[in-house]
């Protein structure tokens, strides 16, 4: 394994700045790793090898001429395939956009490149970000680097797999209900969902506009802090972008939060949930307690998780989310009609209605069709008040629960996923069981809060376990410092999947 690949993103940045390694060397090392391992992992939908090497050479030349570049000068990264770029294609892992070439680049991607990052390629995802396992991709099946028979999580499964599989130094994903944090948890990475509005959504192909947020997936908390600093900031091209400067996340990252108050959500504790998940949370609690944190029990009644006699989970938040998200998806995806955007059927029809129907039937996968139909139904005359309007009221109650909890504590601590990575195909026959995979993550999106998932050990099967921290709006620096306290205390070392171990240096 190349020494450049062994480095974390921040270590590589420092090595590049010191001249210990060149950007071309690092980029070639990652491209070689992609060639060697991505045939099994299948994280990438597109690789921009020639463009990446050209930009790497330009970064090296600029540094040699005394122009060191930005915070990420020469660092190779990947981006999720739902972020527009004026190079390559933006497919959203869908046949609907299989050949779509965007005329502009998303603000988040542009900020990475303006900081000097080298985009290696775009990563696989659930179609239009609708899924929790990346099994809904219409292009390919991404596997978990820890076990190729298991899912990487979703919808940013390709992004997480590219980080865990050492196929990039860091990645961008998007999070609508846990789509950064869940794959981070299942692949043994760090994944941060910033506060809604912190990172521009301009150029992100919309799934649910009031929930979507772009964020980083990395190997360490410090790497996530660095990418967050680069990504955040007001963007006049996005009407939901907050008019606040980018937070300083790295400056005090190593300083523990003095007197940290940590909230444990009583509704998320049950003897019938996966015991290894609880053990991971207990380890994180112990790590924070040993550093002087005060542990407080709090309540989020409208995010309560009920466990039935059959072991099945249920939650108000899940029901609320899948009404709000599908309603917004129905509206956002109406533009893909074969006329304005996307696939157009080659079959002749009697009129435009038949043409549009055939185009959408051919190009959308089953999960996307299911969510469009559900969302259209909840917005229909006679059902709007009973479903959508009621869901908005529950969403307000969920946000109110968080607001009251943060009057008592600084951060909330709990699980990210109900269980470690599950087998490919294990949940595809039961959509409800799949939806409940996000039971610990989606309430954060409904409330618009920042949250971070980080590794907390390995299961008996050698699969990553993770914990999640949630914080008040715009408190990413505090959240990252608390996460670093856990990371430093647990001292897990390099979380290296078996597919990466043993490769030559």
Residue with tokens 């390995």: 458
Q: Which helix (H) or strand (E) holds 457?
A: strand 451-458
Q: Can 80 be counted among the known catalytic residues? A: yes
Among residues 69, 186, 78, which one has the least CA distance to residue 132? 186
Q: Using N-to-C axis directions, what is the helix angle for 390-405 and 316-332, rounded to 10°? A: 120
Q: Give, for 76, the enclosing helix (H) or strand (E).
A: strand 76-80
Query: Which ranges in 107-178 belong to alpha helices (H)?
Result: 107-114, 157-164
DSSP 88: S
Active-site residue identified among 80, 122, 193, 427: 80
Return the bridge partners of 190, or none.
Answer: 218
End-to-end CA distance of the chain: 4
Q: How far apart are CA 249 and CA 114, in angstroms?
A: 19
Q: Is residue 452 helix, strand or coil?
A: strand
- What string of DSSP letters covers 263-296? EEEGGG--TTS-HHHHHHHHHHHHHHHTTTPEEE
Which residues of 146-199 form beta strands (DSSP E)? 171-175, 190-193
Please give, one letter per residue, the 3-state secondary structure of 210-224. CCCEEEEEECCHHHH
Per annotation, catalytic residue among 22, 94, 174, 179: 179
Task: Count helices and strands (H / E) in the chain.
Answer: 16, 13
What contacts 24+ positions apart, CB below 8 Å, involve 312-315? Answer: 312/432, 312/433, 312/436, 313/273, 313/418, 313/436, 313/439, 314/436, 315/436, 315/439
Cα(463)–Cα(423) distance, rounded to whole angstroms?
Answer: 12
| Total length of the chain | 505
Task: State the Cα–Cα distance between residues 151 and 425, nearest whole angstrom.
Answer: 9
List the catalytic residue out of 133, 155, 156, 174. Answer: 155
Residue of 7, 426, 16, 450 whose CA lies nearest to 197: 450
Q: Sign of torsion, CA 231 237 240 242?
A: positive
162 is catalytic: no
Which residues are CB-contacts of 376 (< 8 A; sequence separation ≥ 6)? Answer: 330
Residue whose entry in the numeric block shows the structure tokens 């043994």: 188
Q: Is 503 exposed, middle or buried (0-12, 13-18, 19+ CB in 10 A)?
A: middle
Pairing relationship of beta strands 261-265 and 411-415 according to DSSP bridges? parallel
Active site residues: 80, 155, 179
């Amino acid at each position: 394994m190349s020494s450049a690949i062994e480095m974390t993103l921040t270590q590589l940045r420092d090595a590049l700045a010191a001249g210990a390694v060149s950007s071309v060397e690092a980029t070639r090392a990652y491209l070689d790793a992609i060639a060697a391992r991505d045939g099994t992992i299948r994280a990438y939908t597109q690789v921009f090898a020639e463009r990446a090497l050209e930009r790497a050479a330009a970064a090296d030349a600029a540094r040699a001429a005394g122009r060191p570049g930005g915070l990420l000068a020469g660092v190779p990264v990947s981006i999720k395939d739902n972020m527009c770029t004026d190079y390559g294609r933006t497919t959203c892992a869908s046949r609907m956009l299989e050949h779509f070439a965007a005329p502009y680049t998303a603000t988040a991607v542009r900020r990475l490149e303006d900081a000097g990052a080298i985009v290696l390629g775009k990563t696989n995802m659930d179609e239009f970000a609708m899924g929790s396992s990346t099994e809904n991709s219409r292009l390919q099946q991404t596997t978990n680097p820890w076990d190729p028979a298991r899912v990487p999580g979703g919808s940013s499964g390709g992004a997480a797999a590219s980080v865990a599989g050492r196929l990039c130094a860091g990645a961008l994903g998007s999070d609508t209900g846990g789509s950064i944090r869940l794959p981070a948890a299942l692949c043994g990475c760090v994944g941060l969902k910033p506060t809604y509005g912190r990172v521009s959504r301009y150029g992100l192909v919309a799934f649910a506009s009031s929930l979507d947020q772009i964020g980083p997936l990395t190997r360490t908390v410090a790497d996530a802090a660095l990418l967050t600093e680069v990504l955040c900031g007001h963007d006049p091209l996005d009407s939901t972008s907050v008019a606040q400067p980018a937070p300083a996340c790295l400056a005090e990252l190593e300083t523990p939060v003095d007197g940290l108050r940590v909230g444990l959500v009583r509704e998320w504790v049950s003897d019938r949930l996966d015991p290894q998940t609880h053990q991971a949370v207990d380890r994180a609690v112990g790590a924070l307690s040993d550093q002087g944190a005060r542990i407080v029990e709090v309540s989020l009644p409208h995010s309560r998780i009920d466990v039935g006699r059959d072991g099945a989970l249920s939650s108000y938040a899940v029901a609320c989310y899948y009404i709000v998200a599908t309603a917004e998806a129905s509206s956002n995806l109406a533009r893909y009609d074969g006329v304005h955007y996307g696939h157009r059927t080659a079959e002749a029809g009697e009129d435009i209605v038949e043409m549009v129907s055939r185009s959408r039937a051919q190009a959308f996968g089953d999960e996307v069709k299911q969510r469009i139909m559900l969302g259209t139904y909840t917005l229909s005359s006679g059902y709007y008040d009973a479903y959508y309007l009621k869901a908005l009221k529950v969403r307000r109650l969920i946000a109110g629960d968080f607001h009251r909890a943060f009057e008592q504590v600084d951060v909330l601590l709990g699980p990210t996923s109900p269980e470690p990575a599950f087998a490919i195909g294990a949940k595809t026959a039961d959509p409800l069981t799949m939806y409940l995979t996000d039971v610990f993550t989606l309430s954060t999106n409904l409330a618009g809060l920042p949250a971070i998932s980080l590794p907390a050990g390995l299961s008996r099967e050698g699969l990553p376990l993770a914990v999640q921290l949630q914080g008040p709006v715009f408190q990413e620096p505090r959240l990252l410092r608390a996460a670093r306290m856990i990371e430093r205390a647990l001292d897990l070392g390099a979380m290296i999947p078996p597919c990466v171990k043993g490769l030559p240096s």
